[in-house]
Structure 1
Amino acid sequence: MSVSSVEANTLFAELPAVRPSSFAQWRALTGRIVRTMATKGELVVACLTPLVVTVAFFLPLRYVMKVQGIDYAQYVMPIVVLQTMAMTMMSNAQLAAFEALTGLSTRLQTMPIGSLVPLMSRICAGMVRSVVSLIATVGYGYVIGFRFTGGWLQALAFCGFALTVGVVLTLGADALGSLTKNPEALSQALTLPILIFGMMSTGFVPEASFPSWVRPFARNQPISQFAQTLSDMAAGHLSWAGTWVSLVWLGALAVLFLPLAVWASVRRS
């Protein structure tokens, strides 16, 4: 051993061994994203977007549905909640694409950081945005007449299920963002599925309002099932018979999106 090596070992002998903490890394990266959202007004946008969605969905059809004996505020709020979760999904997709485009993702892979820490930090920051949006959405819903009539337990189940749907969709969007590295194109690509599945769902209008040939799709597609489950929770009618299809859809999407998001996040480009 050379003299310089001995001196170096003696110089740093009293310093504690470095033990990277994945929790501390996650906390730092998540805090960075949340601070950016707060300082750049993204959390304000997360509060205002549900207002736009609520007004756009509620006002055009409330009188038509009232004639049919439907309390449209109660009927439409589940799909409004799901649409606001979709907005969070798009924001996370753009964040993942931006980090991949600017080389931040590659840079983090060269550092002693847990391989899943960047992905988890983006998902958790997206959860913060989802919670803010959900609180705002429920508040706007109460203004137009929406109520939780099934008690606080089912109200909590409503919020928990909505956030779970948001997390699962965000996983898929994060994977797409990491793979495409194009925030602008990704935003345009995700807008069309959101509109199609939202407008062609029974959460927006009853199944009888659709042409007969499209009713099977409108009734059985995942957004319709999620909206129906949220509606049952809000009304206090939650049951296994009315929930298992939604859980199957949610589980299938999670099985598809979670491995894809992990692979897209840890792969070396």
Structure 2
Amino acid sequence: MQTEFPAGTAHIGNDGGVQTTDEPGIDRAPTAAFTQWWVLAQRLIRPAWRTGEIVTALLAPAVFTIGFYVPLELVMTVYGHGLSSYAQFLMPMIVMQAVAFCAVTAAFRSATDARDGLDLRFATLPMPRWIPFAARITVAAHRAVIAVGAALVCGTLIGFRFSGNWWHTVAFLAFALLIATALCCAADLLGSMSTSPEATTQLLVLPQLIFGMVSTGFAPASQFPGWIQGFVRNQPVSQFVDGLRALAGDATGNAGSVDIATLGPGLAWALGILVVCGGLAWRHAARRTA
């Protein structure tokens, strides 16, 4: 005979795992879900200010700016095929590196929750299964806003200026945050499937180096050997950078050409990563509560 458990309670399943009858027991009132999301987000935001995570998000763009601009500015201005302002050319890549660092931090946080068993504990509570994931992404977006702001300050100090209309600037910021959210979703998903925060962050360093260095973020595609130029132009980081560069203004200080051909590939990559990783995160959370 099948045992009936009260809605919203945890019990031991036939396989020995923790299960919960969360579907009938969840308070689906929007205010209840909002409160749960806000409490879990605050659980991570407040310690981030105390432990120095936010300070790191502020300092990382400065380190990237010094590390990239100082050694490359003279070389690219002289040999960069007409790049009169390397600061203008480099700025989107500084933003990309800043948000990529936020993604690595998101993976570390997600893997830490998985290692400490917090995901399983949350799975036993009567809350929508997407709440813990949404809370972590909210914290990652909060960190990304700070990192993008710091990157813009650093870019301004080396000579970067927005060259388009006001909506180009708004679109630049919105696109940068969309990219950040998409990358953080992918990183959070990877971390949630791991129990080793250190291994997860190390795993993310390699693709960050490959896609970052072999992209149009530091040099035009024409500066690369002919056999790899196709990859350089079409890989996602280059598409992100090219879209941001068109919105910010080109390396001569003029507003770039903003059209679907320029922004479309980057938007497609960002939205695709966001939808796919968000869906997989939902399935992963559902598997924990099943």
Amino acid at match of 1:239: D
Aligned-residue offset at 1:267? 2.3
Give me the whole-angstrom Cα distance separating, in 2, the residues matched to 1:268 and 1:249: 28
Measured after TM superposition, the shift of residue 245 of structure 1 is 1.6
Corresponding position of 2:220: 206
What letter corresponds to residue 86 of structure 1 in structure 2? A
Counterpart residue number, 1:9: none
Partner of 1:127: 141
Select the residue among 169, 187, 198 that pairs with 1:173.
187
Out of 259, 264, 269, the position equivalent to 1:249 is: 269
Q: Is the 8 A contact 2:106 2:136 kept in 1?
A: yes
Distance in structure 2 (CA, Å) of the matches to 1:74 and 1:101: 42
Match of 2:68 among 33, 39, 57: 57
Partner residue in 1 for 2:229 = 215
Give the letter aligned to residue 41 of structure 2: T
Q: Which residue of 2 aligns with 1:154?
A: 168
Structure 1 stretches (4+) deviating beyond 4 angstroms? none
Which has the higher mean CA deviation after the structures are superposed, 209-218 or 232-241?
Answer: 232-241
**1:247 Cα deviation from its structure 2 partner:** 2.0
Please, which runs of 5 or more residues in structure 1 have no aligned partner? 1-17
Cα shift readout 1:169-193 (whole Å, capped 9, x = no counterpart): 1111111101012100001100000
Query: Structure 2 CA distance, aligned partners of 1:250 and 1:168?
Result: 6
Mapping of 1:4-43 within 5 angstroms?
Answer: 21-43=32-54
Matched residues, number: 252
Indicate if the aligned counterparts of 1:172 and 1:260 stay in contact, CA closer than 8 A. no
Query: Percent identity at matched positions?
Result: 40
| Inter-partner Cα distance in structure 2 for 1:246 and 1:233 | 12
- Give the C-alpha shift of residue 255 in structure 1: 3.3
Instruction: Give the match for residue 155 of structure 2.
Output: 141
Which residue of structure 1 lines up, in the alignment, with residue 200 of structure 2? 186
How far is 1:209 from its partner? 1.2
Encode CA deviations 1:16-52: one digit per residue, 9 max, x unaligned.
xx95711000011111110010111110110001111
Alpha-carbon distance in 1 for matches of 2:168, 2:195: 40
TM-score, with length taken from structure 1: 0.90
CA drift at 1:251: 2.8
Distance (whole Å) between structure 2 residues aligned to residue 266 and residue 51 of structure 1: 40
The code of the aligned residue for 1:200 comes to V
Instruction: Write 1 or 2 for the structure with the bigger share of helix.
Output: 1
Contact 1:100/1:181, CA 8 A, preserved across alignment: yes
- Equivalent position amino acid for 1:221 in 2: Q
CA contact (8 A) 2:240 2:266 kept: yes
Report the equivalent of 2:8. none
**What RMSD in Å do the two structures reach over aligned CA positions?**
1.4
CA drift of 1:254 comes to 2.5
The 3-state SS of whatever aligns with 1:111 is coil
- Contact 2:181–2:274 at 8 Å: present in 1 too? no
CA-CA distance at 1:204 after TM superposition: 1.1
What SS does structure 1 have at the residue aligned with 2:185? helix
CA distance in 2, matches of 1:44, 1:75: 26
Q: d(CA) in 1 for partners of 2:226 and 2:205?
A: 26
Partner in structure 2 of residue 14 of structure 1: none
Confirm or deny: 8 A CA contact 1:150 1:234 kept in the other structure: yes
Contact residue 219 and residue 225 of structure 1 kept, 8 A: yes
Establish whether residue 114 from structure 1 lines up as the match of residue 125 from structure 2.
no
**Native 8 Å contact 2:137 2:184 kept in 1:** yes
Amino acid at match of 1:187: T
Question: Match for 1:230: what amino acid?
Answer: L
Structure 2 portions without partners, runs of 5+? 1-25, 250-254
- Matched with 2:241 is 227
Q: CA contact under 8 A between 1:175 and 1:265: conserved in structure 2?
A: no
User: Could you tell which deviates more after superposition, 235-244 or 25-34?
Assistant: 235-244
The one-letter code of the counterpart of 2:109 is: L
How far did residue 147 of structure 1 move? 0.6
- Work out whether 1:93 is the aligned partner of 2:107: yes
Distance 1:115 1:255 in 2: 17
